[in-house]
Each structure stands twice: as structure tokens, then as C-alpha cells.
Copies of this chain bind each other. A is one copy, B any other.
Amino acid sequence: MNSVLFAKAIADETRQKIMVLLCCNWLCVTDVVERLGDVRQPTVSHHLSILRDAELVHTRREGKQVFYSLNQQAVATCCGGLLVKFAPDTVAESNVIPLTDIPLN
């Protein structure tokens, strides 16, 4: 996933609040609307569609409701991409203990 698209997807306060709500949690749209408290349902649907397009959420329909949860693996992959691109020195191999250097008895 393109790092500009990822950044744009998470570059909004409301969207990040939604992401926190969906972290380790399956919530339907109405639940998210309730927990945010100050954002209307179409707005939440809109943000969810942006997160869905960026593949940052999992989706599951259950009857009338659609449940969402955060795709932590995707977030981790994107953050890793940012690190490699913009902080290579902090992830250089020399900062890692090679497996071969660990005596396994």
C-alpha cells in the first residue's frame, strides 16, 4: 500500500478515533456513531469507506448490520514501509541482533 494513500487515510482526527474504537473490536456502524457521540451516521459511513478503500479495516455483514474492525496487520505493514522509507538508519541491520549471533546452547 502506497505510503501517501496510507498517510491520507489516517490524516483525520475523526478517522483516528474510529480506528481506536475498531482496534481489537468488531463494531457496527451504529455502535461507532453512538460511541463518537458528535458525528452523524453518513459521516461515519463515509470515513469507514475511506478506511475500507485503504484496506485498513475488516468488514463483515451480519443481517442488517455491517461490522468493522481494524486491520492491525495492514497498519503494521504500512508503518514498516514508512520506517524503511523515512527512517532507514533506525531500522538498519546493525540495530538488530542477527539470529546467528544468538547461541542456542
Residues in A lying within 8 Å of B, measured CB to CB:
3-4, 7-8, 10-13, 16, 19-20, 23-24, 70, 72-73, 75-76, 79, 82-83, 85-91, 97, 102-103, 105
The binding surface of chain A is classed by DSSP as helix
Cβ contacts under 8 Å, A7 to chain B: 7, 10-12, 16
Contacts of A4 in B (CB 8 A): 10-13, 16
Pick from B11, B83, B91: contact of A8, CB under 8 Å: B11
List of B residues within 8 angstroms of A103 by Cβ: 102-103, 105
Contact of A82 among B3, B75, B85, B90 (CB under 8 A): B75
Docked Cα-Cα span, A87 to B72, in Å, equals 4
